[in-house]
Chain A
Amino acid sequence: MSFFRSTAFKYIPVIVFTVILADYFVNIAGIGTAASTLRQFAVVISNMALGLGVISLLRIHTRNVQRKQEGRWLYSVVALVTFFVVFALGIINTNGDQYQWAFNHVYTTLQQTMYASTGFFIVSSAYRAFRARNIDAALLLIAGCFLVLRNAPIGEVIWSGFPRIGGWLMDIGQVPGYRTLMFIAGFGAVAYAYRVVTNKEQGFFGGAE
């Protein structure tokens, strides 16, 4: 294990970085094949992450049930029962009526209910929380109102300026700010890649910096 941690793991990111970067800039068959294989590894690892998520979910909810954690364990029972029922139905036949019924009539409606319920929280917070207590909050609220009335056709009916000002805020006002954030994130990614390649960043395989 110490060999992997001390030596092999250090060079894996360097090799991956070099191959993927080289594949982008040069057209050499061998590098292309190696990069293709690495990308397929990444997809396989992403799929494995789904399995890891299932294990994590089972561990957390089983622990809640075992410890009868107050206010949680009953929900955990529901989560576990739901998981095993849907999992069993899926294993038997993903195109079967029962599995499709669970997906169409339980999952779909729950998802849509969850998304729709945010509307209620927003309308409640519109009166209770969205207060312009300082100039920054006031600017944010005013801009938000213009954007809301730009998005709703009634805004234009009330005043033709709403879509114009809202459109300016969306297309011109906020774009430089968002682009700046994207540039910062991009530079951050380059800096992170440099730290990985030079072995200054080892947190992702369990090592301290």
Chain B
Amino acid sequence: MGESMTIWERLDKLDRRVYYWLLVISIAVPLVSPLGLPITINQSTRDLYEGILEVEEGDIVLVDIFMSVSTWSECMGGLVVEVNTLLDQGAKLVFLGNSIDVPRSWSRLHELAPRLNDLEYGVDIVFLGYYAGADAAASQMAVDVSSIFPSDHFGTPLGDIPLMQDANEAGDYAMVLFTAEGEVKWIQQWGEPYDIPVAGMGIAMKGSALAPYLASGDIFGLAVGARGAAELESLAGMPAAATITMDAISTSHLLFVILIILANLPIIISKVKGGS
């Protein structure tokens, strides 16, 4: 017992950089040599993908890129799949974002979904840019988008953009997709009052916060974190960055659980032996 406790004490005093290196190794090894672990699809992700497949040619979809560049690793892969699938369906897309990073995310999306460059801007897609005001802005956009965005991100008046003539209020849209965060305003201001289907992706830590909305049917589908993005890539047959990172997520998460178990072993042993 004495010797085993010495090991725990040694582990307790271990330089934290050892843990950092363990994490680096656990992420790097599967990236260099993929394990190819199977990814099963959660029902909520399948519902999201199937909901997108129900969009018909010419339908207008609002895409809220409420995603800072730090959350690209979790949500950008899923957004690329959503956009590509919507374009396959023949949908017209209106992008905006409640995050100041939205212009950068827009550029990155163009790099990852290059077919966006082949579309006619103003007819097939529009980028409205950043907006402040959260719920108040979403509520006002439901009745008049042009009152919040007099012009698009590039300074073109909305009146001069053909697509926006048919996309100026909630009733003109077939669907709202949120990215990373900011789902509540669309549920409360568009989904409930105007019966617009709402769905999207959340960062991993938002999974628990979004589950009640999923259970109540306020959102028809949900992809959570990099796992959700990888599931979308798998469903669409477009394996990309999220799929590649899943092995690294597996090994790093396993390391995390092993460390928790190791840390708690002395406490468990002590309890079993009747200690305090």
Residues of A within 8 A of B (CB): 24, 32, 36, 39-40, 42-43, 46-47, 49-50, 103-104, 107-108, 111-112, 114-116, 119-120, 122-124, 126-128, 130-133, 141, 144-145, 148-149, 151-157, 163, 167, 170-171, 174-175, 178-179, 182
Contact = CB atoms under 8 A, between A and B. Distances in A.
4 A-B pairs with the lowest CB-CB distances in the bound complex, closest first: A42-B136, A115-B70, A43-B133, A154-B250
A173 to B, nearest CB: 10
Majority secondary structure of chain A interface residues (helix, strand, loop or mixed): helix
B143 A126 contact: no
Contacts of A47: 132-133
User: Which residue, of B39, B140, B255, B262, has the highest number of chain A Cβ atoms within 10 A?
Assistant: B140
Contacts of A156: 38, 40
Given A103-B104, A128-B16, A40 B250 contact: no
A126 B39 CA distance: 25
Nearest to A39: B140
B20 A120 contact: yes
A157 B37 contact: yes
Given A123-B259, A153-B250, A175-B211, A112 B73 contact: yes
Given A111-B69, A127-B262, A178 B208 contact: yes
Contact of B20 (A24, A124, A152): A124
Given A36-B143, A39-B140, A130 B263 contact: yes
Interface residues of B, number: 67
10 contacts: A43-B133, A46-B134, A108-B104, A126-B263, A130-B260, A131-B267, A132-B268, A152-B227, A171-B215, A178-B209
B254 A152 contact: yes
A13 to B, nearest CB: 15
B246 to A, nearest CB: 6
Nearest to B208: A174
Interface of B: 11-12, 14, 16, 19-20, 22-23, 35, 37-40, 42, 68-73, 101, 103-104, 107, 131-134, 136-137, 139-140, 143-144, 147-148, 193, 204, 207-209, 211-212, 214-215, 224-225, 227, 246-247, 249-257, 259-264, 267-268
B264 A132 contact: yes
Contact of A40 (B107, B147, B212): B147
B19 A111 contact: no
Nearest to B147: A40
Contacts of B23: 119-120, 123
A29 to B, nearest CB: 12
Contact of A131 (B68, B246, B264): B264
Nearest to A47: B132
Nearest to A171: B211
A42 B143 contact: no
Contacts of B263: 126-128, 130-131
B246 A153 contact: yes
B147 A36 contact: yes
Contacts of A151: 204, 224-225, 227, 249, 253
User: Which residue, of B211, B227, B267, has the highest number of chain A Cβ atoms within 10 A?
Assistant: B211
Contacts of B72: 112
A128 B19 CA distance: 10
Given A39-B139, A46-B133, 5 more contacts: A43-B132, A112-B69, A123-B255, A126-B260, A149-B254
Given A133-B267, A151-B204, A108 B69 contact: yes
B136 A46 contact: yes
A156 B37 CA distance: 9
A54 to B, nearest CB: 12
A112 B16 CA distance: 22
Nearest to A95: B154
